[in-house]
């Protein structure tokens, strides 16, 4: 039983000490003391080695299984509200910024002044008073969302692959310099494309492999262009994660781009979806649509390790008009409750950097699919406005 030693034993300090004593019986007391010291040292080394071997490996980010849209598994428990879970090089984010997709220039800036800290501005529709300076003058920072194929261009049905990467980045730098006064205080973040995975904007092949690779290259080129121009004063470059197929495909691209090195945060639009569309699309309190897609938010952070920017999320209020593409319909009071609970949940995660609610006003009173605003088209504030203000400031919801 104690005869033959295996190869591992020959590298064990305790075994080496015992062997020394066995081979040198004349060493006596001094040898015994020395061996004792060796034994003690060996025990410490062995315990440290055992602890190292037993240490669980750090949870890997989501891996993508074979197949274009196969969803990988995350080797870690998903964090709940209040979690300080981090992965990769990220850190927790506090305080969380709250704002709106304003899109109404001086009117929205005036309403938001003193209540909200952030506006998301689609550069395609920047005109008249709808410029970053309008919001900056009111003390509101701007996320510059360059949505299309150039700062003032629309989308391409050929997908992200249609974009001339170097030209796009140069124009983005120029727009930022001109309209944000090259100031990160004015425009702390730049969003690279709006929903680049969306077939509704970018064509039927939007999510294919070539477009994912093209987007990875665009992120890298944009990040480098801004840091070459502005150095440490460059805005945060935000990349779209958005769902559990596009995000991992971009992050695990085959274009040789380490995306994590070229983005400072990831964008998700966690609309709640349309699981229940009976009865004119009326949502049910507490169902998935009311919650917003919190799973996508959590997954984006787990996969990338980056702060998450929720630059759109909303709940429309046209009961009886059927579901929209991304949400059920809600009463005014339900919209307020959904907003307040979602913002409170997001703040508790401590990895959501910002929320800009979509939107400030209904896009049109006549379009029943466009009633997401916290104001009506005519400017009357819904209870959702109060709920968003109170959520932004950590106050009790009086509108819920």
pLDDT digits (tens, 9 = 90+) for 361-387: 998 877 878 899 999 999 999 999 999
**Co-location of 114 and 255 in the same domain:** yes
- Examine residue 65 and state whether it is found in any structural domain, yes or no: no
The whole-number pLDDT of residue 279 equals 58
- Examine residue 73 and state whether it is found in any structural domain, yes or no: no
Determine the Cα angle at 203 with ends 71 and 99, to 5°: 75
**Co-location of 248 and 301 in the same domain:** yes
- Examine residue 80 and state whether it is found in any structural domain, yes or no: no
The CATH code of the domain that includes 302 is 3.20.20.80
**Co-location of 163 and 49 in the same domain:** no
**Co-location of 311 and 168 in the same domain:** yes
- Examine residue 86 and state whether it is found in any structural domain, yes or no: no
- Examine residue 229 and state whether it is found in any structural domain, yes or no: yes
**Average pLDDT of the residues of the chain:** 80
- Examine residue 159 and state whether it is found in any structural domain, yes or no: yes
The whole-number pLDDT of residue 275 equals 82
- Examine residue 70 and state whether it is found in any structural domain, yes or no: no
Instruction: At 239, give phi and psi (nearest 5°).
Output: -110, 145
Query: What is the average per-residue pLDDT within 135-160?
Result: 97
**Co-location of 238 and 312 in the same domain:** yes
Q: Which of 54, 70, 86 is the last residue of a domain?
A: 54
**Co-location of 48 and 124 in the same domain:** no
Flag whether pLDDT at 74 surpasses 50. Answer: no
Residue 64 pLDDT class (50, 70, 90 cuts):
very low
Residue 280 pLDDT class (50, 70, 90 cuts):
low
- Examine residue 248 and state whether it is found in any structural domain, yes or no: yes
**Co-location of 152 and 46 in the same domain:** no
Which run of H or of E encompasses 44?
Answer: helix 28-54
Flag whether pLDDT at 308 surpasses 60. Answer: yes
**Co-location of 116 and 19 in the same domain:** no
User: 371-380: long-range contacts at Cβ-Cβ below 8 A with a sequence spacing of 24 or more?
Assistant: 371/316, 371/317, 371/318, 371/321, 371/329, 372/314, 372/315, 372/316, 372/317, 372/327, 374/100, 374/335, 374/339, 375/111, 379/107
* Lowest-confidence pick of 75-79, 227-231, 245-249: 75-79
Burial code (b: 16+ CB inside 10 Å, e: under 16) for 233-257 equals ebbbbbbbbbbbbbbbbbbbbeeeb
**Co-location of 369 and 244 in the same domain:** yes
3-state SS, residue 222 = helix
**Co-location of 36 and 101 in the same domain:** no
Residue 233 pLDDT class (50, 70, 90 cuts):
very high
The whole-number pLDDT of residue 365 equals 73
Tell me the CB-side half-sphere exposure of residue 312, using CA atoms within 13 A. 20
The whole-number pLDDT of residue 92 equals 57
Residue 94 pLDDT class (50, 70, 90 cuts):
low
Cα gap 143→236, rounded to integer Å: 9
Q: Answer for the pair 42, 14: CB distance below 8 angstroms, yes or no.
A: yes
Domain of residue 26: give its range: 7-54
Flag whether pLDDT at 27 surpasses 70. Answer: no
Total of domains in the chain: 2
Residue 93 pLDDT class (50, 70, 90 cuts):
low
* Lowest-confidence pick of 5-19, 40-54, 134-148, 249-263: 5-19
Query: What is the average per-residue pLDDT within 89-99?
Result: 71
Flag whether pLDDT at 284 surpasses 80. Answer: no
Cα gap 259→238, rounded to integer Å: 11
**Co-location of 46 and 102 in the same domain:** no
**Co-location of 196 and 341 in the same domain:** yes
């Amino acid at each position: 039983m104690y005869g033959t030693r295996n190869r591992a034993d020959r590298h064990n300090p305790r075994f080496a000490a015992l062997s020394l004593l066995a081979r040198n019986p004349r060493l006596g007391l001094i040898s015994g003391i020395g061996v004792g010291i060796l034994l003690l040292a060996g025990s410490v080394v062995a315990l440290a080695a055992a602890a190292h071997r037993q240490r669980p490996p750090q949870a890997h980010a989501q891996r993508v299984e074979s197949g274009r849209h196969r969803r990988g598994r995350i080797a870690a428990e998903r964090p709940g509200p209040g979690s300080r879970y981090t992965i990769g090089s990220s850190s927790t984010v506090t305080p969380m910024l709250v704002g709106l997709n304003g899109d109404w220039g001086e009117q929205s800036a005036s309403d938001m002044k003193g209540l909200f800290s952030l506006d998301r501005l689609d550069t395609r529709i920047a005109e008249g008073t709808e410029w970053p300076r309008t919001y900056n003058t009111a003390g509101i920072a701007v996320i510059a969302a360059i949505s299309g194929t150039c700062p003032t261009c629309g989308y391409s049905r050929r997908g992200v692959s249609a974009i001339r990467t170097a030209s796009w980045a140069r124009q983005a730098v120029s727009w930022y310099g001109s309209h944000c006064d090259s100031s990160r205080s004015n425009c702390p973040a730049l969003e690279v494309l709006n929903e680049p995975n969306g077939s509704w904007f970018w064509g039927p092949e939007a999510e294919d492999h070539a477009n994912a690779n093209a987007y990875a290259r665009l992120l890298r080129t944009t990040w480098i262009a801004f840091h070459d121009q502005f150095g440490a004063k460059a805005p945060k470059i935000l990349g779209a994660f958005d769902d559990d197929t596009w995000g991992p495909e971009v992050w695990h691209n085959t274009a040789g781009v380490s995306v994590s090195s070229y983005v400072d945060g990831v964008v998700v639009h966690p609309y709640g979806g349309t699981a229940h569309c009976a009865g004119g699309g009326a949502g049910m309190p507490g169902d998935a649509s009311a919650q917003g897609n919190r799973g996508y938010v959590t997954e984006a952070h787990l996969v990338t390790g980056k702060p998450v920017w929720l630059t759109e999320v909303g709940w429309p209020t046209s009961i009886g008009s059927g579901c929209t593409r991304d949400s059920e319909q809600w009463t005014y009071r339900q919209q307020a409750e959904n907003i307040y609970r979602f913002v409170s949940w997001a703040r508790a995660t401590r990895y959501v950097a910002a929320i800009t609610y979509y939107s400030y006003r209904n896009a049109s009173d006549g379009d029943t699919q466009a009633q997401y605003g916290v104001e009506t088209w005519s400017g009357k504030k819904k209870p959702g406005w109060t709920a968003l203000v109170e959520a932004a400031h950590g106050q009790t919801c009086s509108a819920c």
